[in-house]
Each structure stands twice: as structure tokens, then as C-alpha cells.
Structure 1
Amino acid sequence: MTQRLYIDLHVLQTVPPANLNRDDQGNPKEAIYGGVRRSRVSSQAWKRATRQHFDTRAPEPDRATRTKRIAAELTTRIARNTSLDRENAARIAAALLAQLGLSQGKKAGDTAYLLFYGNAQLDAVADLVTTRAAELAALEDKELSEAVQELPVASTFTTGHPVGVALFGRMVADIPKLNVDAAVQVAHALSTHETQLEFDYYTAVDDKNEKDETGAGMIGTIGFNSATLYRYATLGLAQLTGNLGGDAEAALDAVDRFVESFVLSAPTGYQNSFAHRTRPSVIAVVVRTDQPVNLVSAFEEPVAAQAGIQASSARRLAEEHLTATQVWGDTPLYQAAAHTFSTREPSAKDTVETLAQAFGDPVTFDDLRTTLRARLTNALAESA
């Protein structure tokens, strides 16, 4: 059994005026924490950004898809693999998917909910009928349903999970056999300080206005705020390894890809209007053998703006980690941080020293990932 190891990721990232993740009014999401209003980015928004980031770096079969249109996707694969027209391919696809018992949506051919699956898994389902496609298409609907009844459709979706499904899990309330427990938990990102909602009033001028015409062709407003965000995620290595069929090497690859993608990704809400993409100022990794620990309590008292907020937030994070390890007697298996503060700046000296006390001497992001993998590999070897 894989040793119980939790990889905690603590990220501080300063974002300029932006609307990363809007609420039902179109404004940036917010939350009350520590008695004041904070900027918030939902965990779902950042998980999707993370998944899209590492999917773009993986071959198509290794990617995951979340959609209500699984029947149409399977139809496309069957038609592509055979000489069948789309109508007959759709009949076979419907017969195959009927084995899963998926609730049907309001739109014909759609499921009632988004289903998360691996592209390779759906390819494998399509391959089940490739050599028999013409024979199956010639059958009446009832006979077709009976003919595919024994094909291992359900088992195909419960094995060979892609990294996305292995990391973030799959929940199908009415079909428990399709459920996959998530290996990753992601917290809602919160600003370390109080924020105020602001509005950008904009106008658009019609380029073809006549000389005697005045006024704008369109006017509107967009809500925005700016914030230093604390982002947290934790990954259970044992759960991830189990989701990947016990393949420890694949799990280590997945950890590395997740760390990279969680750190470097960002939700894309209104990005053309705000160009909000930044890099984090602090990335701290802590490997624990007891339980995940979110350090958001460092910011329960909001950071006050003095000469900026970023450095004060970094010190708060480091101090909270130091306090937590001292009070609870924690001895992390591994801890390290990459950050952008430098002793060349006199004002940053205290920040650099506090971060070093908490996480050790700073490393580059590449070195952090390399050393993390080495420590996890050694831990797995020792527990074998």
C-alpha cells in the first residue's frame, strides 16, 4: 500500500484589476472572512484552468473531457472508425451507452449532467464495435441492444483513467459504479486583505459616425477588483496512485504536472478586457504524512496596506507555517519555497529571512519540482 503522503501547495499571487470569476450579477465573486469582504475565485474555476493547462501539454488520448454530449462524441468515433453513416453510428452509440443507465437531458442525445471521462476511454468503447459495425447496424433497435449487452462498456469507464479524472474525480449520483474519488482538493482563492468592488464605465464609439453625430455607439460597466490572493490545494498521493491503477511512476508524473499547472494557470474571465495574467510571488510546497493543512488562518486578520500588501502577506504565510509546526510538533517530510523576493532590496530582507526560516533557502520553481519528485520517490521506496 502506498504510504500516506499529502502534498500541500501554498501560493500567493497578486492580480491587477480583473474579474477572474464572476457571480450571478457579473461582478467578481467575493466572501466575508475575518469580518471583512474579500476577493474570491471559486475552486471550480481554478480547477478547470488547471485541467486545461495540463491538457494542452498532453497527447489527445491522454486528455479528459467533461460534457453532456458523450453520445455525439462516441458517434463521431464510431463513424470515423467504420464506413457507417452518422445515423447508424448514432444508433450503435446509444445502444452502448444505454448500459451505463445515464439520465437523459432535456435536449435529445444529451445526458442530464456533465460526464467526465478520458478520451482514450471513449476511444476504447468505440473500438468494441469496430469490426462488427455493419452487422450491428443491420439489426433492429431491440436486437441491437441485446447484441451489445455483454460488451464491457461500464468497465471501460472504470479503468485507465486519465490524469484529469484521477486528480479531480468523477461524481455520478445515480450510478455509483462510475464514481472516482478525487485525489485533489482545491480551496477557494481568497484575498489576504479587504477588497472593494469597483466598476469600469466604458464607451465604444462607432467608427462610421457621421460628422454631425455625437455620443457613443455603446456604453456599459464591468465590475472588477485587484487583490493579492492566497491559493491552496492538497493532493493525496495514495488516492492518486490508486486512481491510476497502482502505477506509482504515473502518479509521480501526475504530481509534477499538477504542481506546474496549478501554479501557472489562471481563470480567463474577462482576460481580453484586463490582461490580468501574472506569476505568483510565493510558491511553497509542504509534504505531510498526517493530514493536509490549509494556512488561510494567516490572513484571518486582513493584511493592512502599507508599502504594498504582497511582502506582508508572504511574511504572514511563513509565520503561520512556523507557528503551526511548533505548536503541533509537525515534522514535514519535505518543505521548500520558490519566491520573487530578493535581499538586494533592503525592504525585502525581513520577508526573505522569514520565508527561509519557514521553508528553507529559496529555490527555483524547476528545482522545487525536481526535488519534490525525488523526495516522493525516496519515500515510496522506503515504504515498499
Structure 2
Amino acid sequence: MSRTIVDIHILQTVPPSNLNRDDTGSPKTATYGGVRRARVSSQAWKRATRVAFDDHLDRAELGVRTKRIVELLAEEIEARKPELAEQAGELAAETMKQVGITLEKPKNRDAPESGYLVFFSRRQIENLAGAAIEAADAEDAGKALKAAKVKDLADRDHSVDIALFGRMVADQADITVDAAAQVAHAISVHPAETEFDYYTAVDDRNTEEETGAGMIGTVEFNSSTLYRYATVDVNRLADNLGDRAATRRAVEAFVSAFVRSMPTGKQNTFANRTLPEAVVVQLRDSQPINLVGAFESPVRELGAAGRVKAASDALRDEAREIERAYDETPVAAWVTRVGPDTAALDDLGENVPLADLVDRLGAQVATRLEQR
């Protein structure tokens, strides 16, 4: 059976910023090719992508990740049957126990919580609430819920974000969902140094002192041209969702959201929101291929050429060398780019606006799913 893999390669320049901090507040970094690079973790960009799904998908197709799963389920039970308001919390807790989620009592809250974040689709919450309501009149609600096979209800009707990013349930491995998408840590294509912004703030009410400030401090930042990469296994996504039309929507939403999203770290301080200089999407039938090797030798500024041009040339050359050496020619490829510095990337695919790229990719995905 042929595979359908979607690879997304992005070059994106961000000005002074602190998108993703470590435990000391410094911008995250990584050593690659023997030099220190700016880094944005995969988790940070996955979170930004999930938030951006709200602009591309109906909320009914999305899930909720929370420790307060009992509270969420109790609210759904009460909304559907208000006369169960007093029992809703107890019914919700028993339902989660029958699913296999271990609960614990937090210090400052009445409702029990799971010991870790759990990810459920809205449809799963609705199904579990329906089972809980039916079990409300039973002599033993626990037995009634077990007979209703609530664990099975928690393992079907997955949301798009669960199908893409997966779900790990420590207590119940049999309802774990394998992720269909992988997101790499974004790294700068060049060496990057952390800098410090020394700032002062004036006390508006203190007009008597001629010198001094109400507050002083420092903020760490860097600026970079990032290489970002993500890949989607469309076959696995289709298996997770069980619906070809939903799979196409999920692929289109993921590409759009991943391209346009950005982590919000220190956004108010730096106003660093940008869009990519270049997006290359390759449809493959063999395996995902991360092209980060293009930047193992770090990009250096060469006169007036700039980083974006050098990075575009390097990415084009790496992709063509991979094709030559391994016979890994994509089934189809498209490029969305800005300005003349990215012109080399036209060698990798058809140059189209992002909306057209997403539409054409979706059509290819739909055709290949029909042929499975």
C-alpha cells in the first residue's frame, strides 16, 4: 500500500524576540553544526498550531487537553440534564474511573483531577456524558458504566488535534493514539547570540525626582532566520479519524495553521509576529525527509546577499541532492515565497499563493485516499 507523506519546510525570519524561554527566562538554544543556534521547541509550535486551528476548523472537530476532565464532563452532564446537577460531579468522576483515568484530590479544589493532562475530543465528552446520564438511575452506576463500555467511547470519534498530535494515557495504553504529525524543533540557519535589553520604567506619579526610574531590569532576546519542519503521515491520520473528508480538512488546516502560527512568548514586548519568507510543501510516497542538513554548515552573511537568499539556495541544493542520491523525487511539490531572495526555491515546485497551495495539496490528498 503506498504511503502519503506531507513534508512542510519553512524559512522564517523573526526580529528581536524571545519566542520560547528556558527555565531561566533565556531564549532556548541548541548546538548544531558545532555552533550555537536559536531554537524554538516543537512543543511550543505545536501549541501555537493547535490554538490557530480555531481559525480553520469548527470547534466541534477539536479537543480539550486538561487535568480538570471531571469538571468538564460534569458540566456537560449538567447541561444536558439539569436535574442531575447535584450528582454530576460524582457521575463524572465514576465515569473517568471506568475509562481508567486515575484521579486525585487537589488541595484547593472540590472536584478531583487527573494526575496528568488528558486529551479528549468534544464528541468523546458528549458520548461519555450520555453514558453517565443513562447510568444515573442504576443501582450501581459503576457497573452500569462498565457495561456501557465507556472505555470504548473514549477511544473513538477522535478530534482532528488528537488524530494529528496523538494522545498518551499513562494509565491506559490501550486508548493511546499514535500521532500522525511530527514537528521538529525550529533552529536558526546561522549562529545566534543571546542579547540583553536593559530597560527602565518611569513612575507617572513621581514628578519630584529629576533622576532615576521607577523600575529597571533586563530582558534577553535574539533574532534569527529559522528553518522549521513538520510532516504528516496522511494514512495514519485517516486511520485515526476514520473519515476521508475529515482527513483532507485536517491536512489543510494543519498546513495553514502551522505556516501562519507563532508562539506568543514575549509577544507584547517585541511585537515580533512575522510570516515566512518561504514555504515548501512536498508530497511523498516513501518516508518523511527533514532537510535540516542544508544548514549543518551555518549560513554566514555574504555582503549584501543576506541570510534568506543563502538559506534558500542551501535548501534548494540539499533537496536536489537528496533526490539525486536516493531517488527521492516527491510526488508533487509547491512553493509559496516572498521576494527575489527566495527565487531558487522555484526549482523545487510550482510557485503559488498559500491558499492555492493548500487547495492543491488537499485535492491530491483526497485522490490518494480514494485509491487506498
Normalising by structure 2, report the TM-score.
0.93
In structure 2, how many angstroms separate the alpha carbons of the residues matched to 1:196 and 1:369?
35
Q: CA RMSD in A?
A: 1.8
Query: In structure 1, what is the Cα distance between the partners aligned to 2:22 and 2:309?
Result: 29
1:285 aligned partner, one-letter code: V
Change (3 A) 1:289 1:91: same
Is 1:203 paired with 2:200? yes
User: What's 1:360 paired with?
Assistant: 349
- The alignment status of 1:116 with 2:119, answered yes or no, reads yes
Paired residues, what number? 366
Q: Say if 1:105 and 1:113, in contact at 8 Å, map to a contact too.
A: no
Name structure 1 gaps, 5 residues minimum. Answer: 343-347
Q: What SS does the corresponding residue of 1:196 show, helix, strand or coil?
A: coil
CA offsets 1:4-52 (integer angstroms, 9 cap, x no match): 1110000000000110000011111000000000000000000011011
Distance in 2 (CA, whole Å) between partners of 1:102 and 1:298 is 44
Task: State the Cα distance separating 1:368 from its structure 2 match.
Answer: 1.2
| Residue of structure 2 equivalent to 1:53 | 52
User: For residues 110 and 171 of structure 1, what CA distance do their matches in structure 2 show?
Assistant: 17
CA distance in 2, matches of 1:62, 1:5: 22
CA contact (8 A) 2:199 2:216 kept: yes
Q: Is the 8 A contact 1:55 1:64 kept in 2?
A: no
Query: Is the contact made by 1:68 and 1:110 (CA closer than 8 Å) also made in structure 2?
Result: yes
Q: Secondary structure of the equivalent of 2:113?
A: coil
SS at the partner of 1:309? helix
Percent sequence identity over matched residues? 45
Structure 1 pair 311–105 and aligned structure 2 pair: CA distance change class (3 A)? farther
TM superposition score normalised by structure 1: 0.91
Matches within 5 A, 1:1-384: 3-84=2-83, 86-105=85-104, 107=106, 109-130=112-133, 133=136, 135=137, 143-212=140-209, 214-245=211-242, 247-306=243-302, 307=304, 308-342=306-340, 348=341, 351-352=342-343, 354-357=344-347, 359-381=348-370, 383-384=371-372
Deviations 1:132-168 (A, max 9, x none): 64x36xx6xxx33234332232111111101000000
User: In structure 2, how many angstroms separate the alpha carbons of the residues matched to 1:220 and 1:29?
Assistant: 20
Change in 2 beyond 3 A, CA 1:95/1:234? same
Displacement of 1:214 in angstroms is 4.2
Cα contact 1:106–1:112 (8 A) shared by 2: no
Could you list the runs of 4 or more consecutive aligned residues of structure 1 that deviate by over 4 angstroms after TM superposition? Answer: none
| Shift, 1:83, TM fit | 2.5
CA contact (8 A) 2:48 2:261 kept: yes
Could you tell me which runs of 5 or more consecutive residues in structure 2 were left unpaired when the two chains were aligned. Answer: none
Task: Note the C-alpha offset of 1:361.
Answer: 4.1
Distance 1:115 1:207, change over 3 A: same
